[in-house]
Amino acid sequence: MDFNYTPEQKMVQSMVQRFAEAEIKPIAQEIDATEEFPWPVLRKMGQLNIMGMAIPKEWGGAGVDTISYMMAIEEIAKVCASTSVIMAVHNSVCCYPIYLFGTDAQKEKFLKPLAAGDKLGAFALTEPSAGSDAGAVRTTATLDGDEYIIQGNKIFITSGSEADTVLILASTDLSKGVRGLSAFLVEKGTPGYTYGTIEDKMGVRASATTELVFENCRIPKDNLLGQEGKGFKIGMTTLDASRMGIAAQAVGIAQGALDESIKYAKEREQFGRPIGKFQAIQWMLAEMATKIEAARFLVHHAAYLKEAGKPFTKESAMAKLYASKIAREVTSDAVQIHGGYGYTKDYAVERFYREAKITEIYEGTSEVQKMVIAREALK
Ligand code: CAA
């Protein structure tokens, strides 16, 4: 593994960093309070090719490598986790599986406008009784002539009320369990497809986490992604790759909290000097910085393996497990350094603390990551 980043990776990182500072940071606190979906910023991200980052140019994307993509997620999460998860879900769990498993006709119809940032994507796996046990999906897809009829409901779907295209997992044969699951692409506006409650969440509050409802929803047979019965594998392959992106998000949240803490430690005076002069604060900052660096290496290592065409399931899960844990710890220390001020909404660390927690939950809880890591280790 080469520890030198390429000129292209550095260029992508600094471009996204400048954009995030100028366009996303100023609205982050506000959209956290109002839960307003950041459409204006997402449209600009589309124009900058941030919404189809790792998709090859021939399908409308930017065609950058996985490390550059991880850097982009981190830079956005550093200022706003809501925007970063909308972007990561769109790229990793909607665009990417269409690219991997779609036919050329599906890529032309669905992927091109998504990767160009003209449309927004979502991913719908979770159901009331299918959380960590993802194979317990009860939504059904029944073939009727040239159409599938979708029946069921999905919960906790990022961008659920906003997405133009949603990749869903539904059962084409309930008797076969996980081997009966299939993947489908459903377009906003299809009769019988609506959204329900938008969740009032602890963090990532602007990401429109929504219930999706399918009632006699008819979609063309051609919207089947891959083959019938291969949906679970498609879902798992997708999540293997996307989990390192949530790890990158966790690194970004933690880095944002550390940056704020360093600034505060230099400015805030107690006992006649800046609190950064006290060893108690210095040790906290040192631990925070070291954890972040270690987590970032895990993310970039997983990305490197993926790019090199090597297995990365375990490393992606490890990156997510560790980065999400240290993001919770680092953001907690950041609030501690800020003292009473850190407990108010006047300081970004209060938001970072709330945002960090979800990285231990979505795209597989920490307990699921441990299952994945242990299974790989015991192979
Ligand atoms: N790649 C390819 N195939 C895989 C696979 C992988 N990583 N993992 C499992 N499979 C295959 C197995 O080979 C097996 O296939 P066969 O039947 O042909 O042998 C089949 O899938 C079933 O495998 P398991 O018996 O191992 O499956 P399981 O029921 O024990 O579940 C699990 C494994 C890892 C716990 C899985 O259920 C899981 O990942 N759960 C967490 C769900 C999750 O991450 N949800 C996230 C929702 S999306 C989200 O959060 C997005 C957002 O908005 C931010």
Residue 135 tokens, joined: 């194979």
Measured distance CA(53)–CA(70) in Å, rounded: 10
Cβ–ligand 1 distance for 125 under 6 Å, the answer yes
Cβ–ligand 1 distance for 158 under 6 Å, the answer yes
pLDDT of residue 2: 76
| Mean pLDDT value across residues 289-311 | 98
1, pLDDT greater than 80: no
Percent share of the chain, pLDDT over 70: 100
pLDDT of residue 3: 85
Which of 173, 178, 372 is the best mutation target for the ligand 1 pocket, counting ligand atoms within 8 Å of the beta carbon and taking the most?
178
374, pLDDT greater than 80: yes
Cβ–ligand 1 distance for 136 under 6 Å, the answer no
CA 93 to ligand 1: nearest atom: 51
pLDDT of residue 241: 98
Confidence of residue 30 (pLDDT cuts 50, 70, 90): very high
Task: Tell me, in angstroms, the distance from the centre of ligand 1 to residue 236's CA.
Answer: 5
pLDDT, tens digit, for every residue of 43-68? 999 999 999 999 999 999 999 999 99
Task: Reduce the secondary structure of the chain to three states and give it as a string.
Answer: CCCCCCHHHHHHHHHHHHHHHHHHHHHHHHHHHHCCCCHHHHHHHHHCCHHHCCCCHHHCCCCCCHHHHHHHHHHHHCCCHHHHHHHHHHHHHHHHHHHHHCCHHHHHHHHHHHHCCCCCEEEECCECCECCCHHHCCCEEEEECCEEEEEEEEEEECCCCCCCEEEEEEECCHHHHHHHEEEEEEECCCCCEEEEEECCCCCCCCCCCEEEEEEEEEEEHHHEECCCCCHHHHHHHHHHHHHHHHHHHHHHHHHHHHHHHHHHHHHCEECCEEHHHCHHHHHHHHHHHHHHHHHHHHHHHHHHHHHCCCCCHHHHHHHHHHHHHHHHHHHHHHHHHHHHHHCCCCCHHHHHHHHHHHCCCCCCCHHHHHHHHHHHHCC
97, pLDDT greater than 90: yes
pLDDT of residue 197: 87
Query: Which residue has the CA at smallest separation from atom 37 of ligand 1?
Result: 134
Confidence of residue 69 (pLDDT cuts 50, 70, 90): very high
Query: Which residue has the CA at smallest separation from atom 15 of ligand 1?
Result: 233
CA 232 to ligand 1: nearest atom: 21
Cβ–ligand 1 distance for 371 under 6 Å, the answer yes
| Mean pLDDT value across residues 78-90 | 98
pLDDT, tens digit, for every residue of 140-199? 999 999 999 999 999 999 999 999 999 999 999 999 999 999 999 999 999 999 999 899
116, pLDDT greater than 90: yes
Percent share of the chain, pLDDT over 90: 99
Catalytic residue annotation = 363
pLDDT, tens digit, for every residue of 319-342? 999 999 999 999 999 999 999 999
| Mean pLDDT value across residues 223-235 | 98
Provide the mean pLDDT of the chain: 98
pLDDT of residue 278: 98
Cβ–ligand 1 distance for 134 under 6 Å, the answer yes
Task: Tell me, in angstroms, the distance from the centre of ligand 1 to residue 20's CA.
Answer: 33
Residue 10 tokens, joined: 């550095």
Find, among 218, 142, 133, the residue nearest to 174 by Cα: 142
CA 372 to ligand 1: nearest atom: 34
Fold of 232-377: Butyryl-CoA Dehydrogenase, subunit A; domain 3 (1.20.140)
Cβ–ligand 1 distance for 126 under 6 Å, the answer yes
pLDDT of residue 252: 99
Task: Tell me, in angstroms, the distance from the centre of ligand 1 to residue 98's CA.
Answer: 18
Cα angle, residue 108 at apex, residues 106 and 112 outer, rounded to 5°: 110
Fold of 7-115: Butyryl-Coa Dehydrogenase, subunit A; domain 1 (1.10.540)
Q: Using an 8 Å Cβ cutoff, are 149 and 141 in contact?
A: yes
Query: Which residue has the CA at smallest separation from atom 8 of ligand 1?
Result: 236
Fold of 121-229: Butyryl-CoA Dehydrogenase, subunit A; domain 2 (2.40.110)
| Mean pLDDT value across residues 335-362 | 98
Measured distance CA(330)–CA(310) in Å, rounded: 31
Cβ–ligand 1 distance for 360 under 6 Å, the answer no
Task: Tell me, in angstroms, the distance from the centre of ligand 1 to residue 93's CA.
Answer: 14
Residue 144 tokens, joined: 């009727």
Measured distance CA(116)–CA(109) in Å, rounded: 12
Which of 236, 367, 372 is the best mutation target for the ligand 1 pocket, counting ligand atoms within 8 Å of the beta carbon and taking the most?
236
Domain boundaries of the chain, sorted by first residue: 7-115, 121-229, 232-377
CA 156 to ligand 1: nearest atom: 53
Q: Report the predicted TM-score, pTM, of the whole model to 2 decimal places.
A: 0.98
Residue 352 tokens, joined: 């970072």
Q: Using an 8 Å Cβ cutoff, are 70 and 244 in contact?
A: yes
Residue 104 buriedness (CB in 10 A; 0-12 / 13-18 / 19+)? exposed
CA 368 to ligand 1: nearest atom: 35
| Mean pLDDT value across residues 4-17 | 97
